[in-house]
Structure 1
Amino acid sequence: MRNAPDPKRWYALALLCLTGFMIILDASIVLVAVPSIERDLTFSAGGVQWVPSGYGLMFGGLLLLGGRVSDLLGRRRVFMTGLGLFAASSLLCGFAWTGDALVLARGLQGIAAAVLAPSALSIVMTTFPDGAERNKALGIWGATSGVGGTAGSLIGGPVTDGLGWQWIFFINVPVCLLVLVLAPVLLQDSRGPGRRGFDVAGAITVTAALIVLVYAVIEAPESSAGRTTVLALVSVALFAVFVRIEQRSAAPLLPLRLFRSRALVGGNLITIAFGLGAFGLNFVYTQYAQLARGYSAVEYGLMSSVLAATAVAGSIAGQHLVTRIGMRPVAAVSLLLSGIGATVMSRSAVDSAYFEVAFWGLAIFGAGLGAGTVAGAIAALRDVTGDDAGVASGLQNASFQIGGAIGIAILSAIAVSHTSGTTPAALTEGYQVAYLWCWVFVAAGLVGTALLIGRKQTVEGEVTEPTAESPAVRLGP
């Protein structure tokens, strides 16, 4: 006999969605404040990109471990622990006295998010029974995450200009305290089945490999070719160690057998490509708008909101198109759209009117981003069933965050290496080149679409989409 549903479940969902909104907001809102942060704190050339990248790397790199920890130690307990860490790290960010201190605090925030996000989603899954209610709850959760990414541009501007960039972090504290007070009342505790172990070695190794890779990219414009090569080789060696650990582990963080699925590999390559482009282009655009053009944070937020709006529209259209024509054509066209949008952005000059270039470039890029991430998520989870649903969904979410952190590093390094001075015209030259490098990310995504060739795309005229047990919920803006 099935247990009666929790009478407080919809209040619990509201609380969990508030947390999810905060996590995603924190990933996007900081992009608005990057120029202000760079002016107030001391950073090396290109070093300010660690502020968003540090969060994304720790979030994405430890996301799978965070899910495992919540399953084993109790989801509500881990959720509340993550809330406390998120509040404390937010305070540290706001009170940061140097650039290095802020980067370290952002890394702690990323760790907290890696604990919070999977535990919150797990509680949603265990609170609602299978069927229509769970699907509705997951839809609300996903929509809230999308709104969090959109709201970052709109909220960040007034907060940064009116109160100071520190308050984009301080506003997290009262939210965390409110959720901490209500969590014991509204949320039920639960644990996952079995007695699986923690693959801490795997989590540390893959995160270290990613950090070294991003560091190599950031330092490349200022370092010798030999030093950059050594750092790249260290990153490759760490990735090799990670693979070996996963092969030998009794409870691997990421079971390597998952990669036998061409759909999973292709879908995640598509997701990584869009993460690279979305975060990288946004990072370059915030600097172009505020440093080269002199727009305020509020003006930048309003201007960049077109990308978020068209991404939402694109995601809605993408869901319908995938059902009608399949994942591969939707993903391929979306990738090309994002490349075209970036090309339009590359024509932004120091005296360009917003509606001449940036508006249309962001709109085209956003449409491709929205439709393409939907197609990538469906492809990544298409073949996944049973016990692999959680880890495959976590991998897809991590792919977007990790792609974003690396994309910021790459485009930041490209912009720095092609900038000949500090005048608006010189800065704009570097940004123009960086926008065009988005085509490299498009190429990587098209490799992912090629892996879907020859696969059965539809079943009785409809695409097989993820079920409630393997939700395509992306924890990203």
Structure 2
Amino acid sequence: MSSSPPHRPGPVLSLLAGAQFLVVLNTSIVNVALPAIGQDLQLTPTGLAWIVNGYLVAFGALLPVGGRLTDLLGHRVAFLTGLSGFAAGSLAAGVPSGAGLLITARVVQGIGAALLSPAGLAILLAHWPPGPGRGKALGWWGAASAAGGAAGVLLGGVLTSALGWWAVFALSALLALPGLAATPLLLDRGERERAARLDLPGALVVTAGLTLLVLGLGARGRLPLPDFAVPAAGVFLLLTLVPVERRARDPLLPPVLLRNRSAVAGNLLMLLLGAVWVATFFFLPLYQQRVLGYSPLEAGLTQVPLAAALMTASWGAGRLRGTLLPGFVVLAAGLLWLARLPVDGTFLSDLLGPSVLIGTGLGLAFVPLTGLGVAGVEPRHSGVAGGLINTSRQVGGALGLAVLTSLASPAGRATPGPAALAHGYRRALVAAALVALLAAAGAGIRRKPARPVTPS
């Protein structure tokens, strides 16, 4: 892949941003449709959870392998393969059939996304070298991520109400078609590591470890085991990765990447941002629906200001320097404001202001963190670097949600009332604000990178 901007930067960036939009869209678009799916397919709560977890677990657990395959196969091949798998999974999920096919299709979607997302980021890094141009491209890429998360809630409600739950998956298949047609026309073959090969033992260990960790944290209370058992097994497997990688000829995570102080710092901070990000989009709709009595569609519509602020801040962060520390501070301020959560709250007085602050903080922090996680990385390792920064966000989200939902659970109440629920959500949001302040402290520590860092 060339090291200068492409001849058609607009279409190429639109293709990459559109793919990232699809990846993030499918983390949330199914949520509003779950009641309709459960009623139509006669699914238990555990079965419904797998419709969500099938995508999230496959996506999160396979991201490091997807990033490494991007470097081995070449960026265009990996991008096209990931988009094809994602489209096939979306099409299969949109066929009104049994629960088994739907869950399998969601896993296929997640596998495709695990290859598509790091490949798209690797292509962006290869086309836009370090400098203002890369910062702007990352800003658009980050804005597309924000738009995907917001659009999922809105489109899920609208499509399910108008056409049926199958339409939320058919939409993803339909939106993937232009990308499949445009990829061979817009992207060249790209650089790949011809002499290297996939570290199969390392790939198996990291995939199994992340699967157990993400699954165990996301399915607490729904597995026939103690809550700590499955995540602990995942952590144990990930610890065994160290001796496995030492013996590998071509490690899954190249040692040069682990010695890159900017990349390590970016991934550690992305863990914290992921925890706060997922928690916000989890607790805010619950408060709106379970305490304030909003409908799912009303909850989605009232999150538009947050999404708009996130998109605008992501776009702006690509054009400005030094937004990482202010982003975390603004994020913490918004969470503390939101943590008031009165039982009789209103949108204008209690939700609008903190939502705008939270969205702004998330956007200002997300784009420079992505740039920090891939700063100074050689082009031949850009795929695995992109996979790793995405993995950090996914794992951070799973860890944060597990801890914060425990804080939010009212003690000793089988059917808690609105006041008890609001009190639990307050505790969780205050804890999330403390995590954001911890990240701000980390961002404030000056580090001298080995090579120029992508501007934020």
The normalised TM-score by structure 2 is 0.81
Structure 2 vs 1, CA of residues 49 and 416 (structure 1 numbering), >3 Å: closer, same or farther? farther
Structure 2 vs 1, CA of residues 30 and 107 (structure 1 numbering), >3 Å: closer, same or farther? same
CA separation in 1, counterparts of 2:385 and 2:433?
23
Q: 1:368 aligns with which of 332, 350, 361?
A: 361
Residue-by-residue CA offset, 1:261-300 (whole Å, 9 max, x unaligned): 5554443232222222222331333344345555333322
Question: 2:454 maps to which residue?
Answer: 466
Structure 2 vs 1, CA of residues 444 and 241 (structure 1 numbering), >3 Å: closer, same or farther? farther
Question: 2:267 maps to which residue?
Answer: 268
Question: 1:340 maps to which residue?
Answer: 336
Equivalences, count? 455
CA separation in 1, counterparts of 2:98 and 2:410?
24
Shift of 1:7: 5.6
CA separation in 2, counterparts of 1:21 and 1:305?
16
> In 2, are the aligned partners of 1:266 and 1:450 still within 8 Å (CA)?
no
Shift of 1:115: 1.4
AA matched with 1:466? T
SS of the aligned residue for 1:27 comes to: coil
Question: 1:475 maps to which residue?
Answer: none
**Gaps (5+ residues) in structure 1?**
459-463, 473-477
Question: 1:401 maps to which residue?
Answer: 394
How do residues 346-425 of structure 1 correspond to structure 2 at under 5 angstroms? 347-349=341-343, 351-381=344-374, 384=377, 389-411=382-404, 420-421=413-414
Question: 1:205 maps to which residue?
Answer: 205
Percent sequence identity over matched residues?
Answer: 33
CA separation in 2, counterparts of 1:130 and 1:76?
21
Shift of 1:242: 2.2
CA separation in 1, counterparts of 2:257 and 2:3?
33
Question: 1:153 maps to which residue?
Answer: 153
> In 2, are the aligned partners of 1:59 and 1:113 still within 8 Å (CA)?
yes
Question: 1:78 maps to which residue?
Answer: 78
SS of the aligned residue for 1:171 comes to: helix
How do residues 42-441 of structure 1 correspond to structure 2 at under 5 angstroms? 48-95=48-95, 102-125=102-125, 139-218=139-218, 220-221=220-221, 227-256=226-255, 258-260=257-259, 263-290=262-289, 293-315=292-314, 322-323=321-322, 327=324, 329-330=325-326, 332-344=328-340, 347-349=341-343, 351-381=344-374, 384=377, 389-411=382-404, 420-421=413-414, 426=417, 429-430=420-421, 432-434=423-425, 436-441=427-432
> In 2, are the aligned partners of 1:156 and 1:297 still within 8 Å (CA)?
no
> In 1, are the aligned partners of 2:332 and 2:434 still within 8 Å (CA)?
no
Residue-by-residue CA offset, 1:394-418 (whole Å, 9 max, x unaligned): 3222212332344445555665675
CA separation in 1, counterparts of 2:440 and 2:366?
12
Bigger mean CA deviation after superposition, 380-389 or 369-378: 380-389
Bigger mean CA deviation after superposition, 214-223 or 152-161: 214-223
Structure 2 vs 1, CA of residues 418 and 83 (structure 1 numbering), >3 Å: closer, same or farther? farther
Determine whether 1:23 maps to 2:14: no
**Gaps (5+ residues) in structure 2?**
none
> In 1, are the aligned partners of 2:90 and 2:173 still within 8 Å (CA)?
yes
CA separation in 1, counterparts of 2:249 and 2:387?
19
> In 1, are the aligned partners of 2:334 and 2:358 still within 8 Å (CA)?
yes
Structure 2 vs 1, CA of residues 157 and 44 (structure 1 numbering), >3 Å: closer, same or farther? closer
Shift of 1:112: 0.4
AA matched with 1:307? L
AA matched with 1:426? G
Shift of 1:429: 3.4
Shift of 1:46: 7.4
Bigger mean CA deviation after superposition, 257-266 or 19-28: 257-266
Residue-by-residue CA offset, 1:319-347 (whole Å, 9 max, x unaligned): 68753xx74x4255245225414513xx2
Shift of 1:255: 3.2
Structure 2 vs 1, CA of residues 233 and 6 (structure 1 numbering), >3 Å: closer, same or farther? closer
Structure 2 vs 1, CA of residues 429 and 30 (structure 1 numbering), >3 Å: closer, same or farther? farther
Shift of 1:107: 2.4
> In 1, are the aligned partners of 2:60 and 2:214 still within 8 Å (CA)?
no
AA matched with 1:276? A
Shift of 1:432: 4.4
Residue-by-residue CA offset, 1:440-467 (whole Å, 9 max, x unaligned): 4454555555555653579xxxxx6416
> In 1, are the aligned partners of 2:285 and 2:299 still within 8 Å (CA)?
yes
CA separation in 2, counterparts of 1:38 and 1:412?
23
SS of the aligned residue for 1:194 comes to: coil
Residue-by-residue CA offset, 1:350-409 (whole Å, 9 max, x unaligned): x43333433344333223322232453455455656665553343222212332344445
The normalised TM-score by structure 1 is 0.78
Structure 2 vs 1, CA of residues 38 and 334 (structure 1 numbering), >3 Å: closer, same or farther? farther
After superposition, the CA RMSD in angstroms is 4.1
> In 2, are the aligned partners of 1:339 and 1:438 still within 8 Å (CA)?
yes
